[in-house]
Amino acid sequence: MQLKRLVAFHKVIADPTRLRILVLLAKEPLHGQALAGKLGLTPPTITHHISKLREIGLIYERRVKNTIYIHLDPIAFRRDVEAVLQLVFPDEQKEVYMTEEKEQLSVLRNFFTSDGKLKQLPGKQKKRLIVLEHLIRTLQVGKKYTEKEINEHLQSFHEDYATIRRELVIHHFFYRENGIYELNPPEMWRSRSGI
């Protein structure tokens, strides 16, 4: 990560109001009016702080009917925090990533057959997310897929494609609207290490 981006990240979160907003959003998505009420601030002030957090990619928004809910992106937040650790302690971070990679390979060996079929979804969420990410690795971010296309793709791994499809939406791998599926950017996928 560029040093300039790290500095921008720390400048933006080095504000007590923005830190309070992040704490609230870590608990649940909220709309601007709710944030203003909880923090005792005016809606324009909240809009200003939200725009700063949006600029560095720590939040994203979803419209539900006429209300826009603001969500914290925990993966983006962790990524930026970990980037500082990588910069200051590069050797320690290499060891962490090597350990994670070995763990991922072990999970994939345990839950997939030699011909690439999924035996079953893991019960533990951390392992489940590793498996789900593996299932979509050949799909393209930005491309829109019909439900039928997603079903056919997932059915090539396991017969219970409906459950897997639902899990992919629940864990933010996919955004679904009117039967059309689109992969979210990897930054939005739930962090395997943050479970």
Mean of per-residue pLDDT scores for the chain: 85
**Is the whole-model pTM more than 0.85?**
no
Q: What is the pLDDT of residues 29-86, one digit of tens each?
A: 999 999 999 999 999 999 999 999 999 888 888 888 899 999 988 777 877 887 877 7
Percent of the chain with pLDDT over 90: 39
Cα 184-23-128 angle, rounded to 5 deg: 40
pLDDT band at 192 (very low <50, low <70, confident <90, very high): very low
State whether residue 73 is helix, strand or coil: coil
CA dihedral (140, 141, 145, 150) positive or negative: positive
Nearest of 82, 12, 57, 86 to residue 184 by alpha carbon: 57
